[in-house]
A = this chain, B = another copy of it.
Amino acid sequence: MQPHEGRLRVHYRLRLAPGESPEGRALALAVEQTVEMPADLVPDAARERATGRVEAVEVEAGTARATLSFEPALAGADLGRLVNVLFGNASMQSGVLVEEVEWPRALLDGFAGPRLGIAGIRDLCGVPDRPLLCAAAKPVGAPSELLAERCAMVARAGIDVVKDDHGLADQPWAPFAERVARCQEAVERANRETGGRTLYLPHVTGAWPELVEQARRARSLGCAGVLVSPLVVGLESARRLAAESGLGVLAHPALSGAFFDPGHGIAPAVLLGDLFRLAGSDGVVFPNVGGRFALDADACLAIVDNSRRHLGNLAPSLPVPGGGIELERVGYWIERYGADTMFLLGSSLYRQPDLERAVQRLVRTVEQHAQ
């Protein structure tokens, strides 16, 4: 989908009550998301430039697909304001799904998007064309030494990226500065031994001052990127971190499932595919179908498609399916998602009797599937 000139166009799926007017419902939503008052009370100046417009309404089986349009200046280049225009008050109604968004150029131009994107991550890892492999440093509660050992183990085995579990923060058992120093050192040592280029991405969290301080420290210790949970720290804070830290950003979907009700929320492809990309996420972890999470196969494929589709001047985000990736099935997932994917291997990795050989086999598997 090419960006267009003009307004922000949002396709909502609205669940209709018996006898409810689809047009009336669509108009009420357009008002709710903007002027929040009946049309006859809106001053002339505001009516034309700020009220949401109903562009089209189609009715299907008890639902209406309503296309509304909004003036991009309502949101400006602030991702918090943008998600508020899409779903802020609408979230408190029932049966409102943000199904698809057509992004106008004027809005996209305000967002730098992923700084590295897929090509940049490939460069850092020295992996030009095969699917990438990711593992997690875990669990929370383990001391820094043990987490660092696990990082070293997967790095020596040939995993491309090792990221913290997103529950790791600054707990007393593995304080942030100590943990990041040890894990990064362990990965660098493994890289020297193998000639590999595994990246370690520590999890950063907190309000902005902590985010900045943690990112600064990670960078000074040699990390090329961090893991962040945009919905936990705030979408706009995540965006600024990506834009200003000089680090790559892998986004974690914590809390995102609150928005995934098929009848009320924000479609996963819009939230994780579009909005996380606008937040500058170089890679986006999503809860893969077939694992312990609830998204279906189509929803997962739509996330992958949106994260890599043409979108103004924004670099693509690397889709990172996780939560359902067993070693034996990686071939299947590559066929499904393509080579420009990073597979987040679950804790099944740590069950391998010989982790190094298991990963080497895996690398041979993914090498058969170059771009």
Taking Cβ atoms with an 8 Å cutoff, the residues of A that contact B are 28, 32-38, 41-43, 45-47, 49-51, 73-74, 76, 78, 80-81, 83-85, 87-94, 136, 138-143, 146, 165-167, 169-173, 205-210, 229, 232-237, 239-240, 253-261, 264-266, 287, 292-295, 323, 346-347, 350-351
Q: Which residues of B contact A143 (CB under 8 A)?
A: 45
Q: Which residues of B contact A38 (CB under 8 A)?
A: 347, 351
Q: Which residues of B contact A351 (CB under 8 A)?
A: 38, 41
Q: Are A259 and B258 in contact (CB under 8 A)?
A: yes
Of A85, A210, A255, most buried by chain B (CB within 10 Å of CB) is A255
Given A83-B232, A255-B91: A171 in contact with B287 (beta carbons within 8 A): no
Given A232-B88, A239-B207, A292-B28: A37 in contact with B138 (beta carbons within 8 A): yes
Top 3 A-B pairs, shortest CB-CB distance: A50-B141, A234-B234, A208-B208
Cα distance, A258 to B347, chains bound together (Å): 30
Q: Which residues of B contact A234 (CB under 8 A)?
A: 207, 232-234, 237
Q: Which residues of B contact A169 (CB under 8 A)?
A: 76, 78, 81
- Of chain B, the residue at the smallest CB distance from A51 is B141
Q: Which residues of B contact A346 (CB under 8 A)?
A: 37
Q: Are A73 and B172 in contact (CB under 8 A)?
A: yes
Q: Are A229 and B139 in contact (CB under 8 A)?
A: no
Q: Which residues of B contact A36 (CB under 8 A)?
A: 136, 138-140, 165, 167, 347
Cα distance, A165 to B140, chains bound together (Å): 41
State which of B49, B90, B140, B237 has its C-beta within 8 Å of the C-beta of A74: B140
Q: Which residues of B contact A206 (CB under 8 A)?
A: 78, 80, 236
State which of B92, B146, B254, B264 has its C-beta within 8 Å of the C-beta of A256: B92
Q: Which residues of B contact A260 (CB under 8 A)?
A: 91-92
Q: Which residues of B contact A73 (CB under 8 A)?
A: 171-173
